[in-house]
């Protein structure tokens, strides 16, 4: 009882446990349905789960500065996972458990993320709110907002939601108490967490400062601006070991480009309705939206459980202070992409800065609740406005049609359900206002109930049209057993699960952060997609060129015997081999990139089996030992199986690979060139018998001139920017720790004096 009483008195522990409990209640049914095995749908199943396990195994294999062979054709661990979870403290917590148990612990870590989001939101809100119960409500609103709910499929987005409030807490304390330590640390942890979201958070932090603290007395603010800027430099510097390699990677990636196009800077009426819906109504599953769009993978949701934007409108109506102006700015940015897209430097049209908006709306809601007696009239007006907006949305969705004349309604019953939830929130708010019940415990109970219902409803919709748990688990169990007998070949399977769960080299393609060499290679086939890689089985000869020798099937092979047999629920699956080229083999011809692209795309992989591609402007002395082939020299009537048999005879020997690179031996009679189907990256260095050798970029893969005779070849990988980032991080950590110690010593001296 004493412990329980102490917990009740500790507000931080209390809100942490409340949010954890609400998350538990929201997810527990789905955990039970899977017997502890938790999945959601699409990205969560095919990216978040395998990526976390793949990262776990890659780190055990080679540490931070390694090469992950299970990510597409192979990608730097930092580059491949930096956007996902490499910098997440929640991921590092999951490292305490065996990697393949992750689907059984992921729901519990989800609950922890909700709890941490609520805790830090509470700490921020308490800087403005006197009564704990109203800050509790605000913390729940933030942690369980529509933004959190819609992004439940994106597991790593919740790391950002959880830790973002630290930035505002740090800034508030820096300005109020002239202590910049927490701000510096908050900048570090957010920059280390996710470089992409950090850009948006940093820009919002600047906007927040301008609205919150900036005034005409520039001289008075100049010193704190300088100190804040210095804190930012030190904080980002502390994260440089991950931040610098990540920035270097995205700066050369064709998938990370800004787009300042007018049509992307003004919303159509349909998108305006979509954004209104995201603010007024509970969030929906991005894969199955009931109205406006059938599906849309944007994070367009900012609904506050129960209250919606009633108290936000109330606050704006009555007040003319920094928060009301900031809220107006956020509303404008939400509907004017020319402003809203600034948060991600026009790289992303999606509303993935809305968690910042949600925290400001939660603050306004708390302030109105705490002083509800002063806002009674405005609450009624705002509730009416909220109801009218919902009605306009409802009518518009039924009246307007798309360009093809099709309805905006895709699930009428579900859309009406969300409309009713939104209207119910308005009615309950008016009731609480009329009965003066905002001071009671009822609001927090109702907010908690709405939070659980809306979260669980969205998870239910995600799962209802997704892969059944038992089907996914069967696939997962097989993936845990798959091993490649010969390391110079790959698994011909496009699933992330099959490659990453057991750290197997394969053809996983559902990733937006693979090697720059891979995107360059894919461009040879006129392929570009910001999310999915090229399916290696789309073109004849491509899977064979890239070493896809093995595949998994539930059918016994008609010819020969399987390489291995795996079981899941007593159902056998077979690992079967087929003809394929090894990862490293000698070649005698080359074709220029322009000539290759003159060949019909369906024959280009066959052409690459006959000649390695090189840049048109490559110095001729670099490839002087190769014969040039032109378009007319390429045979399209070509036996792929015979080609593979011929290439195998020219394979390197003693091939071995790990997270630091690969080694092999050569014993060719004449000087030759060896083609390695490993993505080219500036982080690679090659040696032959210990002497440095030049790596030639062969259309995103690697080519190496090898002399005659017996030689030992070694490729070593160091992520570009890693060494520089590590040095900067060490320096900035020394600065931060020195400042921290100095502050402590100074404080003690002041107390003693």
For residue 378, count CB atoms less than 10 angstroms from its CB and return exposed for 0-12, middle for 13-18, buried for 19 or more: buried
CA dist 722 and 729 (Å) reads 10
Does residue 412 share a domain with residue 504?
Answer: no
Query: 3-class SS at 53?
Result: helix
pLDDT band at 349 (very low <50, low <70, confident <90, very high): low
CB 150 within 8 A of CB 283: yes
In the predicted model, what is the mean pLDDT of residues 275-281?
98
CB 434 within 8 A of CB 4: no
Residues 6+ apart with CB under 8 A from 233: none
CA dist 568 and 563 (Å) reads 17
Q: Tell me what the pLDDT averaged over the chain comes to.
A: 94
Q: Which residues pair with 673 in a beta bridge?
A: 587, 705
Q: Is pLDDT above 80 for 239?
A: yes
CA dist 646 and 652 (Å) reads 13
Q: Tell me, yes or no, whether 558 lies in a domain.
A: yes
* Phi, psi values for residue 80, rounded to 5°: -75, -35
Number of compact structural domains in the chain: 3
Q: What would the two tokens of residue 37 be?
A: 């095995």
Does residue 483 share a domain with residue 386?
Answer: no
Sheet holding 612-614, edge to edge: 612-614, 589-592, 627-628
CA dist 121 and 131 (Å) reads 15
Strands, E, within 179-304: which ranges?
none
Cα–Cα separations (whole angstroms), residue 291 to 11, 63, 75, 299, 717: 40, 46, 39, 15, 49
pLDDT of residue 295: 93
Boundary residue ending a domain (464, 493, 516): 464
Does residue 498 share a domain with residue 349?
Answer: no
Q: Is pLDDT above 90 for 106?
A: yes
pLDDT band at 402 (very low <50, low <70, confident <90, very high): confident
**CA–centroid distance for 609 within its chain:** 35
Q: Tell me, yes or no, whether 51 lies in a domain.
A: no
Q: Is pLDDT above 80 for 668?
A: yes
Does residue 225 share a domain with residue 138?
Answer: yes
Q: Is pLDDT above 60 for 7?
A: no
Task: Name the CA dihedral angle for 565, 569, 570, 573, rounded to a multiple of 10 degrees.
Answer: -30
Q: Tell me, yes or no, whether 65 lies in a domain.
A: no
In the predicted model, what is the mean pLDDT of residues 162-168?
98
**CA–centroid distance for 227 within its chain:** 31
pLDDT band at 748 (very low <50, low <70, confident <90, very high): confident
Does residue 142 share a domain with residue 26?
Answer: yes
Residue 668's domain comprises 584-717
Does residue 91 share a domain with residue 9?
Answer: yes
User: Tokens 């052409």, residue?
Assistant: 607
* Phi, psi values for residue 486, rounded to 5°: -120, 120
Q: What would the two tokens of residue 651 be?
A: 């394979």
Strands, E, within 167-255: which ranges?
none
Query: 3-class SS at 73?
Result: coil
Cα angle: 283, vertex 288, 293; to 5 degrees: 85
In the predicted model, what is the mean pLDDT of residues 28-54?
95
pLDDT band at 346 (very low <50, low <70, confident <90, very high): confident
Residues 6+ apart with CB under 8 A from 546: 73, 490, 507, 536, 580, 581, 677
Q: Is pLDDT above 80 for 114?
A: yes
Boundary residue ending a domain (423, 446, 464): 464
pLDDT band at 734 (very low <50, low <70, confident <90, very high): very high
pLDDT of residue 403: 79
Residue ranges of alpha helices (H) inside 39-156 are 42-43, 49-62, 77-81, 89-94, 102-125, 132-143, 146-150
Residues 6+ apart with CB under 8 A from 752: none
Query: 3-class SS at 552?
Result: strand
Q: Is pLDDT above 90 for 368?
A: yes
Does residue 293 share a domain with residue 308?
Answer: yes
CA dist 31 and 439 (Å) reads 35
Q: Tell me, yes or no, whether 750 lies in a domain.
A: no
Cα–Cα separations (whole angstroms), residue 658 to 66, 126, 555, 594, 674: 9, 50, 32, 34, 20
pLDDT of residue 9: 66
Q: Tell me, yes or no, whether 43 lies in a domain.
A: no
Does residue 103 share a domain with residue 27?
Answer: yes
Q: Tell me, yes or no, whether 604 lies in a domain.
A: yes
Boundary residue ending a domain (577, 608, 630): 577
Residues 6+ apart with CB under 8 A from 221: 213, 214, 215
pLDDT tens track for 184-237: 999 999 999 999 999 999 999 999 999 999 876 777 788 899 999 999 999 999
pLDDT of residue 751: 78
Please state, as a whole number, how many other Cβ atoms lie within 10 Å of the Cβ of residue 313: 23
Cα–Cα separations (whole angstroms), residue 150 to 19, 86, 117, 503, 709: 17, 23, 16, 30, 60
pLDDT of residue 622: 86
Q: Is pLDDT above 80 for 255?
A: no
pLDDT band at 262 (very low <50, low <70, confident <90, very high): low
Q: Tell me, yes or no, whether 345 lies in a domain.
A: yes
177-181, 257-261, 707-711, 745-749, range with the lowest pLDDT: 257-261
CB 383 within 8 A of CB 313: no
pLDDT of residue 1: 47
Q: Is pLDDT above 70 for 362?
A: yes
What percent of the chain stands above pLDDT 70? Answer: 97
Higher-pLDDT residue of 265, 528: 528
Does residue 357 share a domain with residue 332?
Answer: yes
pTM: 0.94
In the predicted model, what is the mean pLDDT of residues 4-29?
88
Query: 3-class SS at 28?
Result: helix
pLDDT of residue 257: 59
In the predicted model, what is the mean pLDDT of residues 635-643?
89
pLDDT of residue 256: 60
pLDDT of residue 144: 98
Does residue 558 share a domain with residue 492?
Answer: yes
Q: Tell me, yes or no, whether 49 lies in a domain.
A: no
Among the listed residues 184, 158, 139, 9, the one whose alpha carbon sits nearest the alpha carbon of residue 89: 158
Does residue 382 share a domain with residue 261?
Answer: yes
Q: Is pLDDT above 50 for 749?
A: yes
pLDDT band at 746 (very low <50, low <70, confident <90, very high): confident
pLDDT of residue 260: 55
In the predicted model, what is the mean pLDDT of residues 558-567?
91
Does residue 289 share a domain with residue 361?
Answer: yes
């Amino acid at each position: 009882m004493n412990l329980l009483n102490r917990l009740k008195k500790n507000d931080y522990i209390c809100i942490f446990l409340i949010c954890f409990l609400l998350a538990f209640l929201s997810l527990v049914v789905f955990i039970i349905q899977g017997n502890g095995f938790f999945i959601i749908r699409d990205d969560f199943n095919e990216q978040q789960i395998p990526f976390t396990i793949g990262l776990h195994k890659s780190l055990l294999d080679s540490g931070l500065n390694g090469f992950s062979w299970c990510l597409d054709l192979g990608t730097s661990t930092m580059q491949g996972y930096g956007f996902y979870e490499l910098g997440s403290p929640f991921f590092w917590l999951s490292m305490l458990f065996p990697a393949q148990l992750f689907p059984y612990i992921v729901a519990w870590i989800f609950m922890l993320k909700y709890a941490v989001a609520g805790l830090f939101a509470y700490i921020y809100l308490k800087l403005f709110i006197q009564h704990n119960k109203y800050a509790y409500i605000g913390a729940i609103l933030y942690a369980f907002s529509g933004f959190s709910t819609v992004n439940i499929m994106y597991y790593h987005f919740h790391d950002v939601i959880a830790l973002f409030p630290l930035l505002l807490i740090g800034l508030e304390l820096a300005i109020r108490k002239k202590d910049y330590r927490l701000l510096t640390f908050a900048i570090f942890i957010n920059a280390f967490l996710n470089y992409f979201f950090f850009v948006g958070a940093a820009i919002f932090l600047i906007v927040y400062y301008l609205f919150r603290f900036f005034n005409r007395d520039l001289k008075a603010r100049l010193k704190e601006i300088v100190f804040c800027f210095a804190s930012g430099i030190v904080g980002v510097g502390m994260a440089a070991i991950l931040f610098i390699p990540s920035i270097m990677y995205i700066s050369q990636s064709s998938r990370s480009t800004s787009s300042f196009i007018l049509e992307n800077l003004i919303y159509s009426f349909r998108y305006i309705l979509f954004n209104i819906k995201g603010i007024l109504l509970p969030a929906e599953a991005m894969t199955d939206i009931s109205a406006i769009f059938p599906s849309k993978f944007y994070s367009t949701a900012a609904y506050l459980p129960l209250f919606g934007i009633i108290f936000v409108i109330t606050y704006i109506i009555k007040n003319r202070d920094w928060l009301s102006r900031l809220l107006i700015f956020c509303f404008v940015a939400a509907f004017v992409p020319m402003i809203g897209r600034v948060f991600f430097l026009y790289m992303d049209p999606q509303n993935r800065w809305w968690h910042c908006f949600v925290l400001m709306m939660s603050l306004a809601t708390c302030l109105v609740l705490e002083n509800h007696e002063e806002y009674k009239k405005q609450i009624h007006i705002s509730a009416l406005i909220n109801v009218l907006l919902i009605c306009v949305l409802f009518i518009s969705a039924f009246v307007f049609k798309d360009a093809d004349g099709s309805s905006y309604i895709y699930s009428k019953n579900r859309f009406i359900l969300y409309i009713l939830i939104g209207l119910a929130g308005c009615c309950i708010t008016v009731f609480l206002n009329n009965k003066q019940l905002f001071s009671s415990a009822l609001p927090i109970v109702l907010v908690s109930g709405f939070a659980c219902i809306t979260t669980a409803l969205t998870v239910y919709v995600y799962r209802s049209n997704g892969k059944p748990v038992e089907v996914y688990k069967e696939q997962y169990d097989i993936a845990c057993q798959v091993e490649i007998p010969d390391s110079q070949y790959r698994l011909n399977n496009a699933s992330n699960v099959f490659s990453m769960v057991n750290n197997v080299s394969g053809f996983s393609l559902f990733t937006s952060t693979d090697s720059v060499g891979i995107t360059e290679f894919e461009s040879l086939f006129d392929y570009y997609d910001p999310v999915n890689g090229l399916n290696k089985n789309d073109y004849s000869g491509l899977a064979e060129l890239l070493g896809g020798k093995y595949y998994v099937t539930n059918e016994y092979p008609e010819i020969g015997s399987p390489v291995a047999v795996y079981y899941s629920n007593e159902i056998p699956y077979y690992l079967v081999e087929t003809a394929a080229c090894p990862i490293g083999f000698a070649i005698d011809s080359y074709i220029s990139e322009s000539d290759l692209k003159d060949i019909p795309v369906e024959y280009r992989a066959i052409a690459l089996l006959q000649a390695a591609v090189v840049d048109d402007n490559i110095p001729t002395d670099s490839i002087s030992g190769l014969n040039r082939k032109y378009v007319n020299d390429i045979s399209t009537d070509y036996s792929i199986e015979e080609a593979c048999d011929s290439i195998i005879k020219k394979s390197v020997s003693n091939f071995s690979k790990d997270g630091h690179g690969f080694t092999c031996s050569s014993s060719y009679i004449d000087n030759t060139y060896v083609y390695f189907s490993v993505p080219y990256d500036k982080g690679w260095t090659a040696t032959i018998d210990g002497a440095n050798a030049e790596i030639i970029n062969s259309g995103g893969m690697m080519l190496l001139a090898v002399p005659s005779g017996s030689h030992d070849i070694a490729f070593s990988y160091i992520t570009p920017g890693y060494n520089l980032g590590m040095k900067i991080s060490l320096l900035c950590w020394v600065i931060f720790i020195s400042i921290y110690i100095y502050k402590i010593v100074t404080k003690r001296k002041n107390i003693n004096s």
